[in-house]
Amino acid sequence: MADNSKTEDAASDSVEAAKNASNKKEKLSDQVMQNPQVLAALQDRLDNTALTPSSYIETLPKAVKRRIDALKQLQVKCAHIEAKFYEEVHDLERKYAALYQPLFDKRREFINGEAEPTDAESEWHSENEEEDKLAGDLKNVVVIEEKAEEANVKGIPDFWFTIFRNVDMLSELVQEYDEPILKHLQDIKVKFSEPGQPMSFSLEFHFGPNDYFSNSVLTKTYKMKSEPDKTDPFSFEGPEIVDCEGCTIDWKKGKNVTVKTIKKKQKHKGRGTVRTITKQVPNDSFFNFFSPMKVSADGEALDEDSEFTLAADFEIGHFFRERIVPRAVLYFTGEAIEDDDNFEEDEEGEEEELEGEEEGEEEEDAESDPKKDSSQPAECKQQ
C-alpha cells in the first residue's frame, strides 16, 4: 500500500510540473506575440514567402502540380522545335550568302583597285550634296594637281585597317606593330558550314603579299550548337558558339609579332658566375586571334579569366559575321558606328524624358488636391 501511495504522489507531482511548464510557455508565447517588433518580423517573413513563386507552387494540390509538370514537358518539346527552326535559319543564311557573294566580290575589286566603278555604279546622293557640289567646284581649280595625285592612288587605301581603327572592339586588340601588317588585309569573308555538317561558320582574312608571313589566307572557325541542353532545356535561347579553331601562321624569320624575345640573367649557385640567356615569351597582338584558347574536350570547368577570354573571342567572331562583313563600307565611313551611338543615346533620352513626365504628374496631383496638407505627417496623408 505504501508503494502505491508513493507512485500516486510521484504521478501527481509530474502532472503538476507539466501544467506549470505549459503555463509558463503560454505566458511566454503571449508576451512574444504582444511584442510589435516580433509581429512585424513574422509578417515580413510571411509576405516574402508569399511573393516567392516556388513557395506558391508548393502550396498547390497534387493534381495541379501534375498538370504543371505536363506543361513543362510541352515546353521542352517547344525548345526542340525552336532548335530546328534555327537550323533552317542557318540553311537560309547559307543560301543568301551565295547571293551576297557576287556583290562582295565586286566590293573587293573596288577596294583593291582591281576594277573601277562605272559612273552609274558610283552615283550616290549624300545628305551633304550642296557641300559636295561646292567642294567639286573648288576642286576644278586644281584639277591638274588632283589628277596627278589620283593616278597614284589605287582602290581605297587602308580600307579594312581603317575599320579596325574605327571599331573600339577591334582597335583594343591592335598593337602598333600590328598596323603595318593589317594594311595588307584585302578582304574578309564569312563561310557557312555545308549541308549535313555540324553548324559552324568560318572567317577568312585575305592578305596581299607582305614581309611578315607567307599565308595568303588566315582562317578562324566557330563551332555552334543549336539544341537544348539535356540538363537545362529551358535555358535554350537559340544557337550558341561553343568552340573555335584558328590556324597556323607561317611567320617569316624575325617577323612574328605574337612573341617577343627577352634577355634574362642567371647566376650559377656554386661558382657565382652570371650568364645571359634569351627566351621568347607571348606578346600582345591582334594575330593571337588565330591561336584561340581551346574549350576542354572532357567538359572540365574553366577558371573565370579563361571564361572571360573565350566569351570575348566569341563576341568578336559574331561581330565580324553579323556586322563588319555585311556592312563594311559603313564602318569604314563611321556611319554604322554613329548609328549605334545615336541609338544608345536615344534610349537614354527616352528614359530620362519618361522619368521627367512621371515627376511632373506627381507634382500636378499634389497641387490639384486641396485635401492634401503638406504640414501633416506621412501617416496622415495615407489615411
Q: What angle do CA 24, 28, 31 make, to 5 degrees?
A: 140
Strands 274-282 and 259-267: antiparallel
Number of structural domains (the chain) is 1
Say if 86 falls within a structural domain: yes
285 falls within a domain: yes
DSSP notation for 332-363: HHTHHHHHHHHHHHHHHHHHHHHHHHHHHHHH
Other CB atoms within a 10 A radius of the CB of residue 320 amount to 22
Which pTM was predicted? 0.68
114: nearest Cα among 69, 55, 159: 159
The three three-digit cell numbers of residue 162, written as one number: 581603317
| Domain contains 1 | no
Q: Is residue 241 within a helix (H) or strand (E), and if so which, with residue range? A: strand 240-245
The answer to whether position 146 is within a domain reads no
In a domain, 150, yes or no: no
Is 33 inside any structural domain? no
pLDDT at 168: 95
165 domain-assigned: yes
Strand-pairing partners, residue 207, are 185
Q: Give 183's contacts (C-beta < 8 A, 6+ positions apart).
A: 158, 161
Residues 6+ apart with CB under 8 A from 169: 315, 316, 319
The answer to whether the CB of 336 falls within 8 A of the CB of 323 is: yes
CA dist list (Å): 315 to 95, 242, 259, 288: 24, 12, 24, 15
The domain spanning residue 92 has which CATH number?
3.30.1120.90
Cell of 44: 515580413
- The span from the CA of 50 to the CA of 36, in Å, is 21
Q: Which domain holds residue 198?
A: 62-116+155-295+305-340
Residue 138, all three cell numbers = 573648288
The whole-number pLDDT of residue 362 equals 45
Instruction: Please report whether residue 216 resides in a domain.
Output: yes
10-residue averages of pLDDT along the chain (383 residues)? 53 60 60 65 62 76 90 93 89 93 96 94 77 60 55 89 96 96 97 90 97 97 86 82 92 94 78 79 95 74 79 93 96 86 53 47 45 42 38
